[in-house]
Amino acid sequence: PPPPPPPKPAAVSAADYDKFVSDGPYSRESKDLLALIAKRAPDFCLPLLRRTVVGALPQIVFDGRLSGAALRAGPAPASADPSAPPTIALSPGPVFVERRRGLFSPREALLLPEAPQAWVELGVPAPALDALKAQPPVVAARNGAWGATREYADGSRRGTYSPQEQAGELLEQLLLLGLRREGFATSEYAARRWARVAKLMFWTSLKNDFGDAFLDPDRRGELDDWLDHPDELDDALVASWASARDPVLDPRRGPPADERAFDEKARLTCVRSNLQDLLTAAARRRARRVGLLEELIDAGLVSSSAAKDSAQAAADAARTTRRILVAHPPACPADDPARAGGLRKSALLLAEVARAESALRERRAEAGDHATR
């Protein structure tokens, strides 16, 4: 007989959550973010949020070096102690340089990862920028598009993310953690979309009351696109998750129904499909690496010779990997009866978030009608 289903997670009330956050092992800054999230996050995600914070006791650190390739927030590297609670790393602000793409184009910010591992994976040394050093002398400080920004002698800059923006990023990471803990992340697409919509609805709530100046230019544009052009965003969303600095999605799978169909087709030729999966993932990594290196060359942060050496090393490694995989194809994975159930649960996530999103858009439409009368 199949194993019994895991017990349903115990509910955590709003009062219990508030008390836990108030008494918990968090800094004042972290407590303020957790309190703001609980106050302004959409209703559909609050039960999971409370269970995750109280049940998983996630630690929160403000250190862009620990967020991996993600530029704003991400899970910190796992502890060697399996009993240690998970840690979410938030970047205090972006490290960036400004550049022009054309002679008459405006200057644009190129955001740079702080995590040393991100540069190791690129195969080039991190640029020796003042903004990446510990406490370099500041030559100018001003408020700008990227918040309170310090400028250094070499032209590099370090901005500041607002607490409201950080709270949204933290909300998304906490929800992803909770979905994985409770078995709702079989479909990476569904989990990411569910958590992302919660974040965007959280920011929308704040925008309605205070405007959107708390968001950086990239996040402000993302929120506007989601509010104004939702039907055009889904394909772009899949592409962005697949091509991110830290890729999180195989674009061939997508939503749960597509992923289920992909799995069924792949099962018929599992050895060939597994081989194709690995080779496709390697090709995407190479393409992503080339794109990032080209941006760094354009900004004068990486020499052409260093980029060429990195690309050659990546190509050599890819050829070696391909030879090994073709000579010794990966074995077929064992059947996972829980996967089909996990995909059904993921489909429920999409249905729930679609209802929440639809209700928000109806309220916005009604508010617009009233404003024009």
pLDDT of residue 260: 62
| 236 in the same domain as 303 | yes
| 337 in the same domain as 239 | yes
| 358 in the same domain as 338 | yes
Q: How many domains does the chain have?
A: 3
pLDDT band at 71 (very low <50, low <70, confident <90, very high): confident
Lowest mean pLDDT among 57-66, 289-298, 364-373: 364-373
| 174 in the same domain as 88 | yes
| 278 in the same domain as 330 | yes
3-state secondary structure 153-202: CCCCEECCCCHHHHHHHHHHHHHHHHHHHCCCCCCHHHHHHHHHHHHHHH
pLDDT band at 53 (very low <50, low <70, confident <90, very high): very high
| 100 in the same domain as 86 | no
| 177 in the same domain as 28 | yes
Rounded Cα distance between 282 and 320, Å, is: 12
266 occurs within a structural domain: yes
| CA-angle at 90, arms to 87 and 94, nearest 5° | 150
Q: Is the pLDDT of residue 69 over 80?
A: no
- % of the chain beyond a pLDDT of 90: 50
Q: Is the pLDDT of residue 202 over 90?
A: yes
153 occurs within a structural domain: yes
pLDDT of residue 258: 65
The amino acid occupying position 208 is N
324 occurs within a structural domain: yes
pLDDT of residue 9: 82
| 53 in the same domain as 153 | no
Q: Is the pLDDT of residue 373 over 70?
A: no
Spatial neighbors of 302 by CB under 8 A, at least 6 apart, are: 124, 127, 293, 296
Place of tokens 């959409």: 42
Contact (CB, 8 A) for 9 and 51:
yes
pLDDT of residue 8: 75
Lookup: tokens for 62: 């403000």
User: Which range has the top average pLDDT, 146-150, 251-255, 334-338?
Assistant: 146-150
Of 142, 158, 174, the residue that ends a domain is 158
| 313 in the same domain as 198 | yes
The total of other beta-carbon atoms located within 10 Å of residue 114's CB is: 23
pLDDT in tens, 2-25: 556 666 788 999 999 999 999 999
Q: Is 37 exposed, middle or buried (0-12, 13-18, 19+ CB in 10 A)?
A: buried
2 occurs within a structural domain: no
Whole-prediction pTM: 0.84
Of 115, 143, 158, the residue that ends a domain is 158
Place of tokens 């129904």: 257
| 303 in the same domain as 282 | yes
Rounded Cα distance between 40 and 53, Å, is: 16
Rounded Cα distance between 142 and 147, Å, is: 8
Find the length of the chain.
373
Lowest mean pLDDT among 30-34, 134-138, 205-209: 134-138
pLDDT of residue 364: 87
The amino acid occupying position 27 is S
Q: Which domain holds residue 276?
A: 188-213+220-373
pLDDT of residue 321: 77
27 occurs within a structural domain: yes
205 occurs within a structural domain: yes
pLDDT of residue 372: 47
pLDDT of residue 61: 96
3 occurs within a structural domain: no
- % of the chain beyond a pLDDT of 70: 79
1 occurs within a structural domain: no
Rounded Cα distance between 92 and 33, Å, is: 13
| 35 in the same domain as 136 | no
| 67 in the same domain as 116 | no
User: What percent of the chain is helix, strand and coil (3-state, nearest 5)?
Assistant: 60, 10, 30
Lowest mean pLDDT among 104-118, 287-301, 331-345: 331-345
